[in-house]
């Protein structure tokens, strides 16, 4: 068993997530919460791919998904903000 820090763990998460995940996180950070249709267009990620990415980011606690009527609204969590900052710092 290795002694893996949270920082090391989240650095390794980058290699497991699709490349489009960074676009999604960046758009949510820059533009704030939005529905999946708007997020798909703004992040330039196909809607079918976006659904898979959002689920992965949600399970990791990096994004939150809430319902407003029939829409699903995605937003960046505090952990998501910290993770994005970590990605930007390591390049």
Report all structural domains of the chain as residue ranges with CATH numbers, in order of start.
6-90 (1.10.10.10)
Helix (H) or strand (E) holding 65: strand 63-68
pLDDT of res. 16: 87
32-90 pLDDT, tens digit per residue, is: 999 999 999 999 999 999 999 999 999 999 999 999 888 899 999 999 999 998 887 87
Give the pLDDT band (50/70/90) at residue 12. confident
Rounded to whole angstroms, the Cα distance separating 73 from 45 reads: 16
H helices of the chain, in order, are: 6-16, 20-31, 36-43, 47-59, 78-90
Give the pLDDT band (50/70/90) at residue 2. low
Whether the model clears a pTM of 0.85, i.e. scores above it, the answer is: yes
The 3-state DSSP class for residue 74 equals strand
Torsional sign, CA 48, 54, 59, 60: positive
């Amino acid at each position: 068993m290795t002694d893996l820090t949270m920082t090391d763990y989240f650095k390794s998460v980058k290699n497991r997530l699709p490349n489009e995940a960074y676009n999604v996180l960046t758009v949510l950070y820059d533009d704030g919460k939005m529905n999946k249709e708007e997020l798909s267009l703004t992040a330039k990620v196909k809607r079918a791919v976006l659904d898979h990415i959002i689920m992965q980011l949600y399970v990791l606690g990096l994004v939150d998904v809430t319902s407003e009527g029939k829409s699903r609204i995605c937003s960046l969590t505090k952990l998501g903000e910290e993770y994005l900052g970590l990605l930007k710092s390591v390049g």
